[in-house]
Amino acid sequence: QVQLVESGGGVVQPGGSLRLSCAASGFTFSSYGMHWVRQAPGKGLEWVAFIRYDGSNKYYADSVKGRFTISRDNSKNTLYLQMNSLRAEDTAVYYCAKDGSRYSSGWYEDYWGQGTLVTVSS
């Protein structure tokens, strides 16, 4: 069965950096694009970033463009999110999610991890 396990969350000061990881299993990781989606406390879902199955294309929400970088290591079945210049408004649970279609340029998210909490506070 598909499993996605996020790690790397924690408390960081404004302006700081953090790298999230997502370990994937139960499917052919190298055949699927992957997403990061976040949810601020008590708020709705906000899509953050997408990376194609082979890492050839990456897309970002305007709110994180230039500060966050999505990447993947298909040899380790792992997805990453490097977050720099963090702001209070980046405080959220960050979910990694598998794209629903093989080799696509990004469709819906069909499996989600349980999320990791990032808190940006001094």
- Catalog residues that contact another protein under the rule CB under 8 A: 35, 37, 44-47, 50, 59, 62, 95, 100, 106-115
Distance (Å, whole) CA 29 – CA 47: 20
Distance (Å, whole) CA 69 – CA 80: 8
Pick 103 or 108: Cβ nearer another protein: 108
- Those residues whose C-beta lies under 8 Å from the C-beta of residue 107, and which sit 6 or more positions away, are 33, 99, 100, 101
Pick 37 or 120: Cβ nearer another protein: 37
- The two tokens of residue 110 are 């069909």
- What's the min distance (Å) between Cβ of 106 and another protein? 6
Pick 42 or 122: Cβ nearer another protein: 42
- What's the min distance (Å) between Cβ of 59 and another protein? 8
